[in-house]
Amino acid sequence: MIAQLISIGNEITSGQTVDTNSAWLAQELAEFGVTCVRHQTIADELEPIRHAIDDAAGRSDLVIITGGLGPTPDDLTRQALADAMGVELLFHEPSLAHIEQYFALRKRHMHEGNRHQAYIPKGGDALHNERGTAPGIRAHLQNADIYCLPGVPSEMRDMFDVHVRPVLESESHGDATRIHVLHSIGMSESEIGERLKDMMRRDRNPTIGTSASELVISIRIVSHAESSVEAQRLLQADAAEIRDRLENTVFGEADETLESAVGRMLLDQRKTIATAESCTGGLIAKSLTDLPGSSAYFKQAFVTYSNESKTALLGVPEALITEHGAVSEPVARAMAENCRTRSGTDIALSATGIAGPTGGTPAKPIGLVYVGIASKNETVVKELRLGENITRAQVRGRTVKVLLNLLRLKLLKRERPDAD
């Protein structure tokens, strides 16, 4: 089944409010095998709303409209739906009774505008709204079922659960969609595209798509089948195949983040960690402590932003800084090693670099960062060149991602206890 969503309101088209209803509805619909192919957000204008409803109904089986059911003159969903259906609005007595009761119970004055909320397009049904004044509407247009729900997220979700979900449940037998997302880091989106080329064909089931967000590439698998067992089987087979093809770049799935994956590995391996940070200014420590329970592995951090603090807090020799500069391989190495011994942890991470937007030179450009990982047996320092055309926030954010991924790869090697 194909669905389209329409959200109504100037506050959304103007950018003042971000529409979150559509994302929520799309995820709910997917559980019933209903694929959402378009969201539209329309300003509070009668003709554009009518057109959007008409266009959506002609191209899908289900249209859910949120918003525009309020009592003010700029609430136009009822009229626009009636116009799209070519019918008039009819007064619905039980809805008015509900609205009157709503105000009476709250000892509030009912405005004339609230009467308008009791009008329903001829041929449509009013849907009872337990939590607000505006009744929803169910109607039929072209080949599509149409639902109008309130725009307030809590009311909308409630109405969806009461009026839409049961219908979908009764209709969805024999159809099943399952969704799974894998997250990877360390391989470019185009390289992943090459490796999964045959699996990403448009006509294949499951369908597979990728999206990128600051070095993390997510791979989304959507399977369709006649039974949920079969859909799940297809999903798992593809997930296993993708993990195989992308090797150790896949670090997690669903809600998992690089930070939580690394945290879990530290916890499993009972390793403790500390950080010594210059250009990241505490962001590595912040990322490692984003997770509940991180005190089991994270002990402390030295944010040594000035050269003096690198010497005072971490014992990095002043001469080393003078000779090589604060942004250098030897300084990153000393920061990591001294942080580890001073913290008494199994592992220490360090980062020193040029975050920009100023301070870059031809020899040491913006985006040049040295990251270090010190453990009992070895210290590894890596030079990163993150590019000069990225923002300060990106230099810092990507430094953390790359460093945590290096740590992940290091921990991966020792994941079997007997290898320890």
Q: Which stretch binds a copy of itself (CB under 8 A): 137-145, 188-196, 242-250, 409-417?
A: 188-196
Residue 162 makes contact with a copy of itself by CB under 8 A: no
Q: In b/e form, how buried is each residue of 13-36, taking b as 16+ CB within 10 angstroms? A: beeeeebebbebbbebbbbbbbbb
Residues 200-219, one symbol each (x = binds a copy of itself by CB under 8 A, - = not), give: xxx----x-xxxxx----x-
Contacts by residues 286-295 (CB-CB < 8 Å, ≥ 24 positions apart): 287/259, 287/400, 287/404, 288/259, 288/262, 288/263, 290/259, 291/259, 291/260, 291/263, 293/263, 293/267, 294/263
Contacting residue, 173, 268, 387, 415, with a copy of itself by CB under 8 A: 387
Contacting residue, 33, 44, 85, 354, with a copy of itself by CB under 8 A: 44
Question: Six-digit token pair at 310?
Answer: 């690198």
Residue 343 makes contact with a copy of itself by CB under 8 A: yes
Which CB, 220 or 233, lies closer to a copy of itself? Answer: 220
Output the smallest distance, CB 403 to a copy of itself, in A: 14
Which CB, 86 or 113, lies closer to a copy of itself? Answer: 113
CA distance 262 to 265: 5
Q: In b/e form, how buried is each residue of 327-347, taking b as 16+ CB within 10 angstroms? A: bbebbbbbbbbbbbebbebbb
CA distance 202 to 221: 12
Residue 90 makes contact with a copy of itself by CB under 8 A: no
What is the chain's length?
A: 420
Contacting residue, 228, 248, 300, 379, with a copy of itself by CB under 8 A: 300
Which CB, 154 or 322, lies closer to a copy of itself? Answer: 154
Residue 290 makes contact with a copy of itself by CB under 8 A: yes
Residue 399 makes contact with a copy of itself by CB under 8 A: no
CA distance 194 to 406: 24
Output the smallest distance, CB 295 to a copy of itself, in A: 6
Which residue shows structure tokens 């993390």?
216
Strands 379-385 and 368-374: antiparallel
DSSP 200: G
Residue 415 makes contact with a copy of itself by CB under 8 A: no
Q: Which stretch binds a copy of itself (CB under 8 A): 25-33, 223-231, 259-267, 329-337?
A: 25-33
Output the smallest distance, CB 309 to a copy of itself, in A: 4
Cis peptide before 357 (omega within 30 of 0): yes
Residue 130 makes contact with a copy of itself by CB under 8 A: yes
Residues 57-76, one symbol each (x = binds a copy of itself by CB under 8 A, - = not), give: --x----------xxxxx--
Residue 19 makes contact with a copy of itself by CB under 8 A: yes
Which CB, 251 or 302, lies closer to a copy of itself? Answer: 302
| Phi, psi (rounded to 5 degrees) for 342 | -70, -25
Stated as kind and residue range, the H or E segment containing 276 is: strand 273-277
Contacting residue, 36, 65, 349, 369, with a copy of itself by CB under 8 A: 36
Which CB, 192 or 373, lies closer to a copy of itself? Answer: 192
Residue 9 makes contact with a copy of itself by CB under 8 A: yes
Stated as kind and residue range, the H or E segment containing 163 is: none
Output the smallest distance, CB 419 to a copy of itself, in A: 28
Residue 188 makes contact with a copy of itself by CB under 8 A: yes
Which CB, 89 or 390, lies closer to a copy of itself? Answer: 390
DSSP 16: S
Which CB, 172 or 309, lies closer to a copy of itself? Answer: 309
Output the smallest distance, CB 114 to a copy of itself, in A: 5
Nearest to 280 by CA among 400, 366, 403: 400
Contacting residue, 66, 77, 79, 114, with a copy of itself by CB under 8 A: 114
Which CB, 90 or 200, lies closer to a copy of itself? Answer: 200
User: What number of chain residues touch a copy of itself (CB under 8 A)?
Assistant: 116
R_g of the chain computed on alpha carbons:
28
Q: In whole angstroms, what separates CA 261 from the centre of its chain?
A: 17
Q: Are 65 and 77 in contact (CB under 8 A)?
A: yes
CA distance 173 to 150: 28
Output the smallest distance, CB 81 to a copy of itself, in A: 17
Output the smallest distance, CB 15 to a copy of itself, in A: 3
DSSP 188: -
Residue 393 makes contact with a copy of itself by CB under 8 A: yes
